[in-house]
Structure 1
Amino acid sequence: MSIKKFDYTVASVLAALNEITRGRVVMDWEEVTAGRNPYVVMKTSNIPGKSVMEIPGLIFGSKDKPVRKIGVGMTLTESMIELASGIGLDLVIVHHPVADAANSGGVPLAGYLPLYNIALMELHEAFHGLHPGVAYLHGHRKLSTDINFCGVPGNILHVGVALDGIRTAGDMIRHLDRFMGREQERKLLEAERRIRGDIQMIETTLSNPNQILSGTPDSPVKHILHFFPHTGFSVHDLERALEMHPETDTIIASISRVREDHPLVQVARQRRLTFIVGNPHSVEILENGVPLAYAIQQILPGLEVFILRERVTASLLSQLGHKEIAEYGREMALGYLVPEGKEAKAGRGKTVTVVN
C-alpha cells in the first residue's frame, strides 16, 4: 500500500491559518505598513524599548520553505526552539507575539532560528473569539464574545449560560478539573518529587488551582460573565458589563488570576455574585493550542503536528536534589560571584527558587 505524499510549504500553512481565522492573518507586508489589518496591534506598558507589535502571520522564514512537521505552542522560548530542533520541526506556530531576544534566549531571532532551519508564525488576537472552547471548559455555553470590550483591543468578554448539568459553582470546578486532567498532573508531580528527592517541588498549574472567591460550592450558577484580568479588564469594565447584563449571577476570571482581596472580587461580594477563578495561563496550550493544531491537521492532512507544552517547576535551592549541579553552583558563586567577606551574608533570610 503506497502512502500519499503531501507537498506543503510555509505558504500552505499560512493560507490554512487565514482560513481558520476567517481572513485575519497578514498575507502581505503592506497590511502592516499601511495599517490595513486591525489585528496588527502594539502592546506596551510604556516601558522604554519594551513594546511589541503583534503581527498575526509569518514572522521569520521563507514562504517557499517545505514543511513536513510543525509545532504549535503558546510562548516562544529558547527551550521551545531547542525542542523544535531536536525533533526536526520545520515550522513553529505560537499564540503569543514574539520579540527579538525576549523570546529567543537573549539573541536576535535571525541569529538563532536559521541554525535549525525553523520558520516562525504567531497569531494571538487574530485567534481570539473563534471558538467557544474556553467557555465550554469552564462549564458554560458562550452566547456572545466581545474581543475589544470598552474599546480596548484584546479586552475579551464572554457572555454565557451554564451547560446542562452545571447547576452550582462546585459543578463548574469539578467539570473544569476533569477536562484539564488535574489528577494526572498531581500524579506526575508526585513522581517527579520522588525521583528528584524534593518533596517540596511546586508546579505552575497545581500551584494555581481553580477557586471560588465569592460564594460557596453550592452557589447556583446560570448567567455567566467570563473575562481575563491580564487584558486590563477593570472594575469599570465589570460594572459596565453588569449594567449590560443585569441577569448575571456568576463571574469567571481565567487565564490570569486575581487574589481574594482584589477590587473585582469585592464588586462581586458587594453584589452577592459568585466569583470563580478558573484555568491559569499555563494550560492555555490545551484551551487554544490543541483546537488550533487539530484545525491545521484537518486542512492539511498528512502534516505532522506536535503540541509544544512547557512545564515549569520550582524548588527551594536547598532541596535542588542533584548533588553535582548544587556543588557546581556553590563553587561558582563562592569562587567568582560573591565578594570576599560577604560569604556569611549571601542568601541569609531569603527563600531562593530554581526554575527548571
Structure 2
Amino acid sequence: MHTVEDVLNALDEITGGRVIHSLSEVDKQEHPFVIRKSSNIPGKDIIETPGLVYGDKKREVKKIAVTMTMTEGSIELAGATGVDAIVAHHPIAEAANSGGVTLKNYLGLYNISAFELHEAFHGLHPGISFLHGHEVYRTDISYGGLEGNVLFVGKTLPGVKTLSDILNRLDLFMGLEEENNLLFLEKEIRKNASMTETSVVTRGRILRGEADNPVNNIIHIFPHTGFTPEHLRQVAKEHPEADTVLASISRVYDGHELIRTAEELNLNFVVGNCHVLEILENGLPLAYALDMLLPGVEVVVFRERVTSLPARAVGTPQMMEYAEQMASKYLVKKKVAELS
C-alpha cells in the first residue's frame, strides 16, 4: 500500500530534496524553492509551495494524475475516474485552480490530495533542450538575477544542421500530424472551418532566418520568465559562438523587440514548442518517474486541449437558443429595449 506521504517522498527523491515537508518552511520563507510570484496586481500574488498542498499524509493512494495546471476540469475528471492525488506542475492557488471555490471544499469532496512542483522541477532533466535538438552546456535558472528566468545554451545534436531540422524534429516528437488530423475531424463534425486548436496554431516557426540556414550553437530562452533584449545582448556577448535564438514554452510574435535584437546581433530566431506542450516535455517524464518509484500505483496524465470557435458556432441548436435567450432577456435587456 502507498500513501500520500509516499508520493511526497517520491517527489522529494525526483527533485533531489527540493520539496517542503512542513508548512513552517513556507512561513520562514527560507527555502530556495518557496518563491513568491507577483506582478503587483492587488490580491493576485502567490507563494509556490513545492510538495503537498492539500491532503492527509496517511491516506492511501492507488491512482495519481499528472497535469500541468490543476483546474475544475482536472478535479472533476479525477473524481470521476478514481484518482486519489493530482500532481500539478504549476502552482496551485485558492479558488483560481479549483473552479472559484475553496480548495478544501472541492478537493475534500472527492477525497483528492494535491501536490505542486514548478520551479522545484525545472532544470532536473535535459529533455526540453533534447526535444529542440541541442545538448546544453550552460544552464541558468535565474539569469540576470531574476528568479525563474531560465536560460540554456547548447550545441546542436547530430542530425540537426539547419533551422528546418529543429522544426521537423519537434513535429515528429510532438505528434503534430496527429493533432492536425484530430482538428480536421473535429472541424468536419462541428461543421466549422474556422475552428483551431492551441498546439496546431502555435507550432514552431522561423521568425528570422531561412529554413536551410545552418545552426550550431543555440541560445534557448523562455520569454514569459522575463527575458529581455538586454539579457539577450549580454548572453550573446558571453557566448559569441551562438548563431540562433530559440524561444519555447512561451513565444514572441512579429515585431517583438527580442526579434529586432536578434537582427541587431545577426542571430537566427526560431520559436519552438508552446506552453501547452509542456505536458509532454515535463509532465510525461514526471509521470514515468512516479510510475517507477511507486510500483502498484496507477499513473495517468491529464492532457488539456483548448480549441477556439466563434461564439455563435458553439453548442447544439438548443444551446444556441438558450444562450440567446439568457443573454437578451437577463444580461443585456436594457440595451435591447433601448435599441427596439
Alignment TM-score > 0.5, same fold: yes
**What SS class does the counterpart of residue 340 from structure 1 fall into?**
helix
Shift of 1:239: 1.2
Runs of 4+ in 1 over 4 A off after TM superposition: 343-346
Equivalent pairs counted in the alignment come to: 340
Shift of 1:343: 6.7
Matched, 1:36 2:23: no
Matched, 1:58 2:52: yes
Shift of 1:321: 5.0
Matched, 1:173 2:128: no
Counterpart in the other structure of 1:339:
333
Q: Is the 8 A contact 2:328 2:336 kept in 1?
A: no
State the alpha-carbon separation in 2 of the partners of residues 178 and 206 from structure 1: 13
Shift of 1:158: 0.6
Paired residues for 1:157-168 under 5 Å: 157-168=151-162
**Matched AA of 1:184:** E
**Matched AA of 1:143:** Y
Counterpart in the other structure of 2:260:
266
Scaled by the length of structure 1, the TM-score of the pair is 0.93
Counterpart in the other structure of 2:228:
234
**What SS class does the counterpart of residue 245 from structure 2 fall into?**
strand
Matched, 1:27 2:40: no
Q: Is the 8 A contact 2:236 2:242 kept in 1?
A: yes
Match of 2:319 among 322, 325, 330: 325
State the alpha-carbon separation in 2 of the partners of residues 209 and 296 from structure 1: 29
Counterpart in the other structure of 2:67:
73
Match of 1:132 among 126, 132, 139: 126
Unpaired runs of 5+ residues, structure 2, are: none
Q: Is the 8 A contact 2:35 2:48 kept in 1?
A: yes
Unpaired runs of 5+ residues, structure 1, are: 1-6, 347-356
State the alpha-carbon separation in 2 of the partners of residues 288 and 46 from structure 1: 28
State the alpha-carbon separation in 1 of the partners of residues 151 and 336 from structure 2: 52
Counterpart in the other structure of 1:118:
112
Q: Supply the RMSD in Å over aligned alpha carbons.
A: 1.4
**What SS class does the counterpart of residue 285 from structure 2 fall into?**
helix
Match of 1:221 among 215, 226, 240: 215
Scaled by the length of structure 2, the TM-score of the pair is 0.97
Q: Deviations over 1:256-288 (max 9, x none)?
A: 010121111111112221100011111110000
Match of 1:97 among 91, 100, 113: 91
Matched, 1:203 2:189: no
Q: Deviations over 1:216-274 (max 9, x none)?
A: 10111000110100000111111111111111001100000101211111111122211
Q: Is the 8 A contact 1:59 1:120 kept in 2?
A: yes
Shift of 1:318: 2.7
